[in-house]
Amino acid sequence: MCEVSVFRGDPPVVIGHRGAPRRARENTPAAFAAAAADGAAYVELDVRRCADGLVVHHDPATADGTAILGRTVAELDALGVWELGAVLAGLPEGLGVDAELKNLPGEPDYDEADTLAVMVAPYLAKAAAERPVCATSFNPGTVAALDAPGVPRGLVAGPGLRAASAGELARDLSLDLVCPHVDAPGLDQVLPALRDSGLAVMVWVVDDPARARALATLGADAICTNDPAGIVAALA
């Protein structure tokens, strides 16, 4: 496991899911700046390969159905999709980053060789010298393949995967954190045990203030939300 602290700040830290998507278009500098202004300590952003680089975009295709992988950085920039390096360079000072690596079977940019992990490593290592950074993915192989000094790695789990199973897989891969969905079966029962096992725990997506407070009581290290301002206020 990584010797660098996964989350810096008073737990649980608040992470803006794709920024502050209720205040600005998700995965854009405006959304990330809004999250920081709302008190988020980190933002989550989605990283994908395109034809000649890396961009910040959640879906595997643009609105017209064209695969992100089939467009260049310049073409995507004209559509309002930001290049990863430009996003990282423009983030507010001190704002942490959770870079979610998108490499899922069935999507047009899926790559069994985990090329994304190789491409993104220098970006995240550079960013980690300036701000808190971690990397996560739904694809355990992709995040396990990431080799970026100073960057903790984590497994994201959907609502159908039991929290205990996600934690076991994360430990087997020597990852540093596990990111169960807020509705993951058994989450409340195993969250303290996950932390005791050495894993940091980031729960997503938590937009209900009462639920956020309950997770904080259980020991969640981080809470990822679409409503940074509301969750920051709830945890104050």
Residue 4 has pLDDT above 70, yes or no: no
CB 83 within 8 A of CB 53: yes
Round the average pLDDT of the chain to a whole number and report it: 96
Q: Give residue 5's pLDDT.
A: 66
Could you tell me which of 128, 213, 210 has the C-alpha nearest to residue 176?
128
Residue 212 has pLDDT above 80, yes or no: yes
Token pair in block for residue 170:
């994360």
Confidence category of residue 3, pLDDT binned at 50, 70, 90:
very low
For residue range 44-72, what is the model confidence (pLDDT) as tens digits?
Answer: 999 999 999 999 999 999 999 999 999 99
For residue range 174-193, what is the model confidence (pLDDT) as tens digits?
Answer: 999 999 999 999 999 999 99
Q: Where are the domains of the chain?
A: 13-47+89-235
Average pLDDT over residues 117-133: 97
Residue 14 has pLDDT above 80, yes or no: yes
Q: Give residue 8's pLDDT.
A: 78
Average pLDDT over residues 129-153: 97
DSSP-assigned letters across all residues of 197-216? TT-EEEEB----HHHHHHHH
Average pLDDT over residues 147-169: 96
Q: Give residue 119's pLDDT.
A: 98
Average pLDDT over residues 111-115: 98
Q: Which numeric CATH code is attached to 13-47+89-235?
A: 3.20.20.190
Q: 54-92 burial by CB neighbour count: b if 16+ within 10 A, else e?
A: bbbbeebbbeeeebbbebebebbeeeebbbbbebbeebe
CB 82 within 8 A of CB 27: yes
CA dihedral sign, ordered 116, 118, 120, 124: positive
